[in-house]
Amino acid sequence: MGMGLAQPPSFHLGSLLLVVNQERPDACEAALRIQAWGEAHQVSIVHAEDLTGEHSATPDLVVSLGGDGTVLRAVQILGGQNVPVLGVNFGTLGYLTSVEPVQLLEVLESLHAGVMPTDAHLENRMMLRIHVAQKDGGRHTLRALNEVVVEKVESGHTVRLEVAIDQSVFATYSADGLIVATPTGSTAYSLSARGPVLSPQHRAMVLTPVSPHMLFDRSLVLDPAEEVSITVRGHRDVTLSVDGLHFVALGPEDTVSVVSDAATACFLHIGQQRFHHILRQKFGLGDD
């Protein structure tokens, strides 16, 4: 079952949130140009670094200036709000960015005029909801667009991770770790661990072991309605990461439960759908 694409309706652009990769001078320069554009057009521009309680209102659009990592940060900042994210590519060829820097002001001008570019469309992507229950009583709830990773801390040792699907024990993995990925995240860490590639418009969860030391070493593609629970067995500590960022250390008997989130990540794409084109380029699948 796919998430679906939608031709966006007319658009009101009165406020804009900027998420910038501060390590890229060209992205920072673009942010200054957008700030000047906003002042000239009476569009409120808020920078992610300046977010406070007084700027907690939902923006009309989020503009991400960087690469895929910056887009992931933008989605995390939104916290499940259904606000379109426009990814502007200042990195290498990315799966989540759809606009080149030279196009940006033209796109903003069109949106400010209340007119969507004719080749624009909105796309909703599935996200994960993660619940962490620690033996010491700690409780955490998180979201992920790409993946959640439960992975060993010490090199040279595997960890034992018990997996249950809908509260029924499936297997205890001896591995370096486990990844639960969305279709969007299937081209990230899960792919490097030999997981399958899923269309980003699909709805499913992918459970991929990292360097498994057992006979069953395959990925599982699961229904999004299923719940995956990972419990740390044995005595070795592991770490929990969400969308590439370390979140918390886990110990024996701690459990991470993953389900599909009711919220989705919304992207504003300009131009043709590029997923297969990008995949082809990244892996050199051109005609020989």
Tokens read off for 84: 């379109």
Determine whether 68 is an active site residue: yes
Q: Which of 26, 50, 60, 68 is catalytic?
A: 68
Q: How far is CA 175 from CA 118, 152, 243, in A?
A: 48, 8, 20
**For the residues of 81-127, what is the DSSP string, one character each?**
----EEEEE-SSS-SS--B-GGGHHHHHHHHHTT---TTEEEEEEEE
Catalytic residues: 68
